[in-house]
């Protein structure tokens, strides 16, 4: 079986990392609930111009992705590591991360996997996940971003949505709360 796992806000907690940078720069709350894809529309005190400056800070931070906290629980990461080490299934970690200072997005992502899973996997950087998953013959995918979910579904990929307030407008029967729920459902 071939499985695609998104990185940000499935494995890593990009949202909290963004909120912490915004807090350092502008004193905005770190506990804001991200209800829409645009941070400035749901983070109190954050304007569009301020959000753009937060993105600039992130892009200029060396190896930003390597330092992201885990979103998946330690138990779920251990389960994923065990499956990777078994080698029965093919896992692809497909992310649409933008470049930051330092190592390439792919290298930073692989180093994060090594740190948190004890092993790495096939990391691919792409903004057209649906087409790529179709080409790779992916059986199941998990993502959080509305535009990626819609792209995956439009390409006929069996997609699970990890539940976040900003993707609840997408009506889909495969909605789960955790990486472990996803792994239990497809394997």
Write out the catalytic residue numbers: 6, 8
- Note the maximum CA span of the chain: 48
- Nearest C-alpha neighbor of 162 from the set 184, 177, 141: 177
- Nearest C-alpha neighbor of 117 from the set 146, 95, 86, 139: 86
DSSP state, residue 99: P
* Adjacent-strand bridge partners of 2: 90
Residue recorded with tokens 């071939």? 2
Cβ neighbours of residue 184 closer than 8 Å, sequence gap 6 or more: none
Compute the distance between CA of residue 58 and CA of residue 55 in angstroms, rounded to an integer. 5
DSSP state, residue 10: T
Quick one: residue 76, left, alpha or beta (phi over 0 = left, psi -120 to 50 = alpha)?
alpha
Compute the distance between CA of residue 150 and CA of residue 62 in angstroms, rounded to an integer. 31
């Amino acid at each position: 079986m071939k499985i695609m796992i998104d990185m940000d806000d499935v494995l890593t907690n990009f949202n909290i990392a963004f909120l912490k940078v915004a807090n350092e720069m502008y004193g905005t709350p770190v506990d804001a609930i991200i209800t829409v894809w645009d941070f400035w529309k749901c983070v109190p005190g954050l304007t569009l111009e301020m959000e753009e400056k937060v993105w600039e800070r992130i892009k200029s931070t060396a190896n930003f992705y390597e330092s992201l906290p885990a979103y998946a629980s330690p138990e779920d990461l251990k389960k994923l590591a065990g499956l990777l080490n078994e080698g029965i299934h093919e896992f692809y970690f497909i992310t649409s991360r933008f470049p930051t200072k330092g190592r390439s997005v792919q290298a930073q992502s692989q180093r994060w996997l090594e740190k948190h899973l004890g092993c790495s996997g096939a990391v691919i950087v792409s903004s057209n996940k649906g087409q790529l998953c179709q080409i790779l013959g992916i059986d199941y995918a998990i993502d959080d971003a509305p535009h990626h979910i819609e792209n995956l579904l439009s390409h006929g990929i069996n997609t699970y949505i990890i539940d976040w307030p900003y993707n609840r407008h997408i009506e889909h029967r495969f909605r789960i709360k955790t990486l472990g729920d996803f792994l239990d459902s497809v394997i």
